[in-house]
Amino acid sequence: MSSAGLTFAFFMLSFLVIGLSAAKSQKKTVSDYLIGGREIRPWLNALSAASTNCSGFMFIGLIGVSYTQGMFTYWFVIGVMLGSLLIWYQWIPSLRARAGELKANTYLDVLLPREPLERNSKLALDRWFAGVITLLFLSIYAAAQLKAGTKAMQSIFDWPPELGIWMSASLILIYCLSGGFRATVWSDAAQSAVMLMAMGLLACTSLYHLGGLQALLDNLQSQDPALATLFPSTKGILASLGAGLTWTMIGIGSLGQPHIMIRPIALPSTSDVPVTRRVFFTYYLAFMVLSVLVGVCTRALLPPSLGVFDHELALPRLAADQLPSALIGVILAGIFASSISTADSQVLSCSAILGRDLRSSPQQSVRGQKIATFIVIVIVALIATWAPANVFTLVILAWSALAAAFVPLAILSCSKVKMSAGHRLAIMVSALGTFLIFRQYGSPFGLNELLCAWLVAAVTYKVR
pLDDT tens for 196-225 read 998 899 899 999 999 999 999 999 999 988
Listed ranges 183-192, 391-400, 424-433; the one with the highest mean pLDDT: 424-433
Instruction: Please state, for a pLDDT cut of 70, what percent of the chain lies above it.
Output: 89
Residue 246: what residue type? T
Cα 463 to Cα 422: distance, rounded to the nearest angstrom: 12
Contact 306, 145 (CB under 8 A): no
Residue 21 binned pLDDT confidence (cut-offs 50, 70, 90): confident
Residue 399 binned pLDDT confidence (cut-offs 50, 70, 90): confident
Residue 83 binned pLDDT confidence (cut-offs 50, 70, 90): very high
Cα 354 to Cα 333: distance, rounded to the nearest angstrom: 31
Tell me, what's the pLDDT at 436? 92
Residue 131 binned pLDDT confidence (cut-offs 50, 70, 90): very high
Could you give the dihedral angle defined by the CA atoms of residues 282, 58, 267 and 86, in that order, rounded to the nearest 10 degrees? 70
User: Per residue in 29-44, pLDDT tens?
Assistant: 888 888 988 988 999 9
For 75, residues 6+ apart whose C-beta sits below 8 A from its C-beta are 230, 240, 243, 244, 247
Position 280 pLDDT exceeds 70: yes
**Quick one: average pLDDT of 149-171?**
77
Q: Which residues of 92-107 are buried (b: 16+ CB within 10 A; e: fewer)?
A: bbbbbebbbeeebbbb
Q: How far does Cα 247 stand from its chain's mean position?
A: 14
**Quick one: average pLDDT of 61-84?**
88
Tell me, what's the pLDDT at 118? 47
The mean pLDDT of the chain is 85
The pTM score is 0.87
Residue 46 binned pLDDT confidence (cut-offs 50, 70, 90): very high
Helices (H) and strands (E) in the chain, counts: 19, 0
Of 156, 162, 216, 61, the residue nearest 384 (C-alpha) = 162
Of 202, 243, 246, 209, the residue nearest 69 (C-alpha) = 243
Residue 120 binned pLDDT confidence (cut-offs 50, 70, 90): very low
Least confident window among 192-196, 244-248, 410-414:
244-248
Topology given in CATH for the domain delimited by 3-391: Sodium/glucose cotransporter (1.20.1730)
For 208, residues 6+ apart whose C-beta sits below 8 A from its C-beta are none
Residue 23 binned pLDDT confidence (cut-offs 50, 70, 90): confident
Of residues 150 and 271, the one with the higher pLDDT is: 271
Cα 56 to Cα 163: distance, rounded to the nearest angstrom: 17
Q: How many CB atoms lie within 10 A of CB 190?
A: 19
Position 54 pLDDT exceeds 90: no
Position 421 pLDDT exceeds 90: no
User: Per residue in 363-385, pLDDT tens?
Assistant: 668 888 889 999 999 998 888 88
Tell me, what's the pLDDT at 5? 79
Position 117 pLDDT exceeds 60: no
DSSP letter for 355, please: I
Tell me, what's the pLDDT at 160? 76
Of 350, 337, 400, the residue nearest 380 (C-alpha) = 350
Contact 19, 183 (CB under 8 A): yes
Domain locations in the chain? 3-391
Q: How far does Cα 236 stand from its chain's mean position?
A: 30
Position 55 pLDDT exceeds 70: yes
Listed ranges 76-90, 347-361, 391-405, 409-423; the one with the highest mean pLDDT: 76-90
Cα 236 to Cα 183: distance, rounded to the nearest angstrom: 47
Helix 161-210 vs helix 213-223: angle between axes, to the nearest 10 degrees?
110
Cα–Cα distances in angstroms (integers) from residue 358 to residues 28, 208, 362, in the given order: 21, 53, 9
Position 342 pLDDT exceeds 90: no
Residue 331: what residue type? I
Cα 175 to Cα 181: distance, rounded to the nearest angstrom: 10
